A and B are shown apart, each in its own frame.
Chain A
Amino acid sequence: MAASLLSRRTGLFFGVSKLNSFIPAVVHQIANYNPRPLWLNIKNPYIPNKESEKTPDWQKTEKYDRRLFGRYGRASGIDPAKLWPSHARLEELLAEEREWHPPLEVMLGNIAAREKEKAQKRMESEKTIAANMAKMPKMIADWKKQKREVKQKQREEKIRRDKLLAEARERFGYALDPRSIKFKEMVAEIEKEEKKKRKLLKRSKREEEQGLPTATAESSQ
């Protein structure tokens, strides 16, 4: 495919007749682009003298040795075994890996745990919401009832007050202030009378009930 490409490209420029004389029969094209030439300077490599004091420190480091090897290969005179990390360095790397890069299973486990926690929280909150929503009709009814009762009480209270006021007005002949002593005395009187009436009512009711069972017992007998 690459060869056909090249021939197609060259065919455009030079024409088919010149193709045979300019280009060999087998074209070996490695890249489809024009790579930058690699000027490696293998003929006169600069390899620093490790013992001398004049060479700067950075040219005596392991990193520089690796770079020398990378550029010049075996001609640099560096032992290839030095390219890989030493055992001490390897221990450091392993420790780092153990701490900062957990294996795939551990990471998946962490993710799963987090997802589960989130899902659980969501479920719990949804449950509470559902439970509360189920309670809602009853709570609404209760609240409404309570409000109604309060209103009812207020209305009754108002009626009672109005009645007392009217009673007071009748008795004394003028609009009496509910906070005055006379009014309060009057209220107390009315209360007493009401109590007496209720007691009488109760007694009569009891007598009726007692009378009725005895009457029925007598009639049955």
Chain B
Amino acid sequence: MMSVSKTTAGKTIDIVKNLPRITLANLRPNPGATKDEKRRGRGLHGGNRSGRGHKGERQRGNRPRLGFEGGQTPFYLIIPKYGYNADHSRRPQYPPLSLRRLQYLIDLGRLDPTLPIDLTQLVNGRGVTIQPLKRDHGVQLTDEGADIFCAKVNLEVQVASEKAIAAIERNGGVITTSYYDPRSLQVLIKPVPFLMSGEPIPKRLLPGEELLPYYTDANNRGYLSDPAQVQCARASLAQKYGYRLPDISADERFEMLAQRKDPRQIFFGLSPGWVVNMADKKILKPTDDKLLRYYGS
């Protein structure tokens, strides 16, 4: 090929134009870029048993699975789980819901921001999949997509990161973290099969002593925390992340945004103890004194 030193700046392009077109015949990989593949069963040394050894499971490709020790209880089963991995299967899990996905669902119309967005709504809109039997305790709000989030929602999740809370409140929305015990969670995510069973709506249990500090903390917008402290936390968060906190009371959807569930309530507008019948389209409420006291406590 022509060396660059023989040409002046203007003539390079003319030369390149006049060169034959690039085809497979003109191309070659850099030396050392490719390596010849190992072909088994060829040649004097590669042939015969083709690198498989002599008879047995090795040559016949019938070796047992990794970790099998010939029937002896293998190492990975005999050593108990301890320390970091102890009780890992019993820990509460919270499948994530990113702000990006939330925005996506709202944009597509699968979630209605004019009504409070609950775990029921999320599952109805097929936004998340919750499996209470796999120790899922609800949904956690992650902050991926916090910069593009621009919807005003009344959101209720189980866990929320600080940045996600900031992103929601910056757009004039409201976020609450609340706890659902496993039975209530099953009722919440699949209301129709529950209502078909004819059971009275159970009352939501309070979180255990381990989770109670989380849900009484205003910084996490816990549902058991003091509303006054929540206001302070909103202001301080706005200052921390550097946005002006919009005034929700002046909003047109203030009543919807102010809607919050009672700590013992599972569904909006339905109290514990009521029986909802879908065949008759009627709600039955108990009148017995003791029952009312039990469900009202």
- Asked if B88 is at the interface of the complex by the 8 Å CB criterion, the answer is no
Residue of A1, A72, A83, A94 near B114 (CB, 8 A) is A1
Whole-angstrom CA separation of A1 from B113 in the bound complex: 10
A26 in contact (CB, < 8 A) = no
Query: Any chain A CB within 8 A of the CB of B195?
Result: yes
- Interface range, A side: 35 or more
Contact B279 A71 (CB under 8 A): yes
Contact of B279 among A31, A72, A94 (CB under 8 A): A72
A32-B111, A90-B294, A101-B206 as given contacts; A74 in contact with B196, CB under 8 Å: no
B279 and A42 within 8 A (CB): yes
Which residue of chain A lies nearest to B280 when distances are taken between CB atoms in the complex?
A73
Please report the C-alpha to C-alpha distance between residue A110 and residue B216 in the assembled complex, in whole angstroms: 14
Nearest CB on B from A170, distance (A): 75
B279 contacts A80, CB within 8 Å? no
Q: Which residues of A contact B126 (CB under 8 A)?
A: 33
Count of interface residues, chain B, beta-carbon cutoff 8 Å: 35
Interface residues of B (CB under 8 A from A): 109-112, 114, 124-126, 192, 195-200, 205-206, 209, 212-213, 216, 224, 273, 275, 277-280, 282, 284, 286, 288, 290-291, 294
The answer to whether residues A33 and B279 also contact, given A1-B112, A108-B212, A110-B209 and a CB cut-off of 8 A, is no
A69 interface hit (Cβ, 8 Å): yes
The reply to whether B196 and A33 contact each other, CB–CB distance below 8 Å, is: no
**Nearest Cβ on chain B to A212's Cβ, whole angstroms:** 83
Given the complex, which residues of A lie within 8 Å of B206, measured CB to CB?
101, 103-104, 107
Q: Please state if A32 and B125 are interface contacts (CB–CB under 8 Å).
A: yes
B196 partner residues in chain A, CB cutoff 8 A? 67, 70-71
Q: Which of A31, A80, A85, A87 makes the CB contact (< 8 A) with B124?
A: A31
A66 to B195, CA, bound (A): 10
Beta-carbon nearest neighbor of A76 in chain B: B279
Query: Quick one: CB contact mask for A54-95 with B, threshold 8 Å, 1 for yes?
Result: 000000000001111111111100001001110100100110
Q: Is the CB of A83 within 8 A of B275?
A: yes
Top 10 A-B pairs ranked by shortest CB distance? Answer: A70-B198, A73-B279, A66-B198, A73-B280, A69-B198, A70-B196, A5-B109, A73-B277, A70-B197, A83-B275
11 chain-A/chain-B pairs, Cβ below 8 angstroms: A1-B112, A31-B124, A67-B198, A70-B198, A72-B279, A73-B279, A74-B280, A87-B290, A104-B206, A104-B212, A104-B224
Q: Closest A-chain residue to B275, C-beta based?
A: A83
Give the shortest distance, in Å, between B265 (CB) and chain A (any CB): 15
Residues of A within 8 Å of B213, CB to CB, are 111
Chain B residues with Cβ below 8 Å from A101 are 205-206
Task: Give the CA-CA distance A73 to B276 in the complex, in Å.
Answer: 10
10 additional contacts (CB under 8 A) given A2-B112, A66-B198? A32-B111, A33-B124, A38-B192, A67-B196, A67-B198, A68-B198, A75-B279, A87-B290, A107-B212, A111-B209
